[in-house]
Amino acid sequence: MVTQDRARSGVRLTARGAVALIFAITLASRPTGSMMIIGLVFCAACLAAVLLVQPRDLLSLVVTPPLIFFVASLISAVFGTFGAPSVVQALGLGLFTGLSAAAPWLFGGSALVLAVAWFRGLPAGVSELRAELRAGRALANAGVPGPRPGRSAAGPRSGDEPAFAPEPEGYFEPRVYGSPREPKD
C-alpha cells in the first residue's frame, strides 16, 4: 500500500540517478556548440536533479556537478580531436577552451545545486555525517576496530573471538567439492 506522503512525493532519484541525469542531459547539449545553450541546459539539469533526488542523497549530489561537467567536457573534447593532426594538442586546447568558456555556467550550476539542497535538508545530512565520523573516531581511539568491508558492524569483538567468521557446518558439501581425503599413515 502506498502511503499519502509517498504518493505526493512523485519521482525520486538516487544520487546515481541524479548524476546520470545531469551527465546525459549535459552531454546531449554538447553538439549544439553554443556555450550559452550548454550552460543553460547544465543549470536546468542541475536544478531538476537536486529537486528530484532523495533527501538522504543530497550530500552526494552537491559535490558532483563540477566532476560531471569536466567529464562531459572531456568526452566532447575527445570527439573534437578526430581528424586533428595532433591529438594531444587538440585535446588540451579543446578541453581548456571548453572549461574556461563554461566556467560561469559551471559555478552557477554548482551554486544552484548547493542553494536548493540547503533548503531541502543538506545541513541535516552534514550533521549526520559528522556524527558518524565522530563515532568512528571514538571507536578507533578506544582501540575498537570499526566496520571493514566484508565484516558486519554488529559490534566490537572481544579478544577471544577469531578474526574471521567461519562458514557454518555443512557449508562445503563433499558431493559438490569432492570427497574428503583419507589420512595417510
Beta carbons of 119 and 55 less than 8 angstroms apart = no
Rounded to two decimals, what is the model's pTM?
0.65
Give residue-wise pLDDT tens across range 46-70: 999 999 998 888 888 898 999 999 9
Q: Tell me: pLDDT of 4 over 50.
A: no
Q: Which residue has the cell 566532447?
A: 76
The dihedral sign for the CA sequence 12, 14, 17, 18? positive
Q: What are phi and psi for residue 156, nearest 5 degrees?
A: -70, 145
Comparing CA positions, the residue from 122, 141, 103, 106 lying closest to residue 50 is 122
Name residues whose C-beta falls within 8 Å of residue 11's C-beta, 6 or more positions apart in sequence: 52
- Residue 159 pLDDT grade (very low, low, confident, very high; cuts 50, 70, 90): low
Return the number of other C-beta atoms located less than 10 Å from residue 185's C-beta: 3
Which range among 4-13, 20-29, 124-133 has the greatest average pLDDT?
Answer: 20-29
Mean pLDDT in residue range 98-105: 87
Residue 53's DSSP bridge partners are 13
Segment 57-85 shows an average pLDDT of 87
Local structure of 133: helix, strand or coil = helix
Residue 43 pLDDT: 92
Packing angle, helices 35-52 and 15-29, rounded to 10: 160
Residue 171 has a pLDDT of 52
Cell numbers that stand for 10 in this block = 512523485
The rounded distance, in Å, linking the Cα atoms of 151 and 158 is: 15
Q: What are phi and psi of 173, to 5 degrees?
A: -85, 130
